[in-house]
Amino acid sequence: MAVRAIRGATQLDADERDHLLERVAEMVTGVMGANHLEVDDVISIIFTSTSDLTSEFPAYAARQLGFGDVPLICARELEIERSMPRVVRMLAHVETDLPRADVTHVYLHGAAALRRDLTRVQAVPDADA
The domain tally of the chain equals: 1
Q: What Å distances lie between residue 71 and 39, 60, 61, 97, 104, CA to CA?
A: 11, 12, 13, 21, 22
Residue 129 falls inside a structural domain: no
Does a structural domain hold residue 126?
no
Q: Which range of residues forms the domain containing residue 57?
A: 2-113
Give Cα separations from 37 to 44, 54, 119 (angstroms): 13, 29, 17
- List the chain pLDDT tens, one digit each, 129 residues: 899 999 999 999 999 999 999 999 999 999 999 999 999 999 999 999 999 999 999 999 999 999 999 999 999 999 999 899 999 999 999 999 999 999 999 999 988 888 766 655 433 334 444
CATH code at position 92:
3.30.1330.40
| pTM (two decimals) | 0.88
